[in-house]
Chains A and B, each alone.
Chain A
Amino acid sequence: MTRKRIQTIVLCVAAAIAWQFYDDIDMRDAPPELPRDMLQTYLKNSETVRFDTNGQAKDSVGAEEIRYFTGVARGELTNASISRTLTLSESWSASAMRGTVFEDNQTVELQGQVVLNHDSNDIQLTTDRLRLDLVKDIASTDAIVTLAHHGATTQSEGLTADLKQQSFHFTHKVTSVYAPLEP
């Protein structure tokens, strides 16, 4: 049997063994494939309250229904209500038809008849879409938004609000109406 033939046989055997070995590793590492968008967790009439290091309630995320799905790192809210406590005497709250709480548990996006109230003065903000940062107390939207404040209303396309500083920046096409002073 010629030397060349022996080399070929040896190579084939080595390749077979390597392939088999490679096949096993491949099988062992792959996590089982989860079906995406399958309902994983369902909460009915729930409210999640978080506390700060002093034991003070700092924010709460409530909803008639919350759904968490496999493979999707966020929860879908129905009839959502969010509230944030800034100080003992100052807080704000928001409600909407739908909402999404993101994986970081810091960002919440509200959609559909969004109403936000700042509970230490008579400010009320209404829009169709609003993104809330529960840590920085920043609200923002690019939708049409209306702010009612002290007998006046201001509307614009787009807004960014610092709810802690109670500062509202209207970004485009601003119109305001101030009620006349009492005679």
Chain B
Amino acid sequence: QSAQDPIRISADEATRSELEGITRYLGNVVLVQGTITITASSLEIDQANPEEIKIIATGSPATFVQPMVGAEPAIDAKAQTIRYEQVARKVILEQDARIQRGESIIRGPLIEYFIDEKRVQAGQDANQPKSRVEVVIPPSGSTP
């Protein structure tokens, strides 16, 4: 399970504010934790609360990828902002969110993906004007 793996980040530059407990990475940011890979143009790691590391990635778009593992289909998600909540094992995709799981695709303003449950929940972003949620489910017979 990725949660027990260390988080590895690489970037062009970074700034750490010890008083805030926040490190901000800039330029070609890649975060890897186990099978999870996030790419972004900027990424912020908030350690203010030692119990929970909050990770916010932004990009055009930022991406969240998990390869196929056994029978589990691959996950390929994109959005302007990706929030990765380690303890809750949840990924929140905001603005131009899109997630592809196997052949099925969901688009919308706000998508939540529960990593361990493999569950996707699409909804409205309270801070954005309402927009449609679109779901594409492949015809039966093709692999989900």
* Chain B min CB distance to A86 (Å): 13
* Interfacial chain A residues near B8, Cβ < 8 Å: 175-178
* Interfacial chain B residues near A177, Cβ < 8 Å: 6-9
Whether B7 contacts A178 by the Cβ 8 Å rule is yes
Tell me if A55 counts as interface (CB < 8 A to partner B). Answer: no
Whether B50 contacts A150 by the Cβ 8 Å rule is yes
Tell me if B103 counts as interface (CB < 8 A to partner A). Answer: no
Count of inter-chain pairs, beta carbons less than 8 A: 83
> Measured between alpha carbons, how far is A180 from B35 in the docked complex, in Å?
14
Whether A183 contacts B14 by the Cβ 8 Å rule is no
* Interfacial chain B residues near A167, Cβ < 8 Å: 15-19
Which bucket holds chain B's interface residue count? 20 to 34
Whether A156 contacts B13 by the Cβ 8 Å rule is yes
Given A150-B21, A174-B11, A175-B10, also A180-B3 (CB < 8 A): yes
Using a CB-CB cutoff of 8 Å, which residues 80-101 of chain B contact chain A? 86-87
Tell me if B47 counts as interface (CB < 8 A to partner A). Answer: yes
Q: Which residue of B lies closest to A181 (CB)?
A: B86
Using a CB-CB cutoff of 8 Å, which residues 161-183 of chain A contact chain B? 165-181, 183
Tell me if A67 counts as interface (CB < 8 A to partner B). Answer: no
- The 8 Å CB contact of A166, one of B13, B14, B19, B51, is B19
> Measured between alpha carbons, how far is A172 from B12 in the docked complex, in Å?
5
Whether A178 contacts B6 by the Cβ 8 Å rule is yes
* Interfacial chain B residues near A173, Cβ < 8 Å: 10, 12
Whether A169 contacts B13 by the Cβ 8 Å rule is yes
- The 8 Å CB contact of A171, one of B5, B13, B23, B87, is B13
> Measured between alpha carbons, how far is A83 from B3 in the docked complex, in Å?
40
- The 8 Å CB contact of A179, one of B3, B6, B19, B21, is B6
Chain B residues proximal to chain A, CB less than 8 Å:
3-19, 21, 23, 25, 45, 47, 50-53, 86-87
Q: Besides A165-B17, A165-B19, A177-B9, 5 other CB < 8 A contacts?
A: A156-B13, A167-B18, A170-B13, A178-B6, A181-B86
